[in-house]
Amino acid sequence: MFGEDGLLNELLVERFNYCVYVVLLLIGLYAMIAKNNLIKKLIGMSIFQTAIILFYVSIGVKEGGTIPIYTAEHDPHGHHAQHEAHPEEANVTEATDENTTASATSHEEDHGHHAPRSLTDEETLGYANPIPHVLMLTAIVVGVATLGVALALVQRIYRAYGTIEEDEVLAAIQAEALAVEIPDLSETKPKRAKAKPR
């Protein structure tokens, strides 16, 4: 059961963090559906969003990984060092259009090796994928904005109806709808003129 190849070992030990995220998701979903208090619903929504953010961040984690930044050590040709070693290229002389075109073409041919080289597969194995983390930063901002707007709406509901219980708010809305006087349409009908006897 808890052996090295057991299902429970794989589920509880190797993927314990995913079990925690599923439990948090279910708690948040339950709070949003089952609770009548609007603030408790918002707390459930926040827990639900947090569980999703934790799930995606855990997907992007790489053990022993580093941030994917292209540094000077990846450029073995020393691009900046070579420009400092040849200061005569920096001297500008008067040039015609023909000379300018020719010098630009020869510069591209001579110094094509200055372009950054692409990294090999072995070099990129140590990099962690930054996309999930960046997307979750956006999700955090959206979650905070959503929560702020929802709290403002709950405050307006409380001022209007004096409660934040969903059932009581719905009952108050229905009572307001029934309290609106429906005009009697029979009084507004035009009276028919009596026909004169002949």
Q: pLDDT tens across 185-198, in order?
A: 666 655 666 667 76
pLDDT in tens, 25-58: 999 999 999 999 999 999 999 999 999 999 998 8
DSSP 40-80: HHHHHHHHHHHHHHHHHHHHH--TT-B-----GGG-TT-HH
Domains and CATH numbers, the chain: 1-62+128-180 (1.10.287.3510)
pLDDT at 156 over 90: yes
Buried b / exposed e across 150-169, counting CB within 10 Å, b at 16+?
beeebeebeeebeebeeeeb
Of the given ranges (2-16, 85-99, 116-130, 176-190), which has the lowest mean pLDDT?
Answer: 85-99
- Residue identified by tokens 């609106």 is 180
The more confident residue out of 101 and 179 is 179
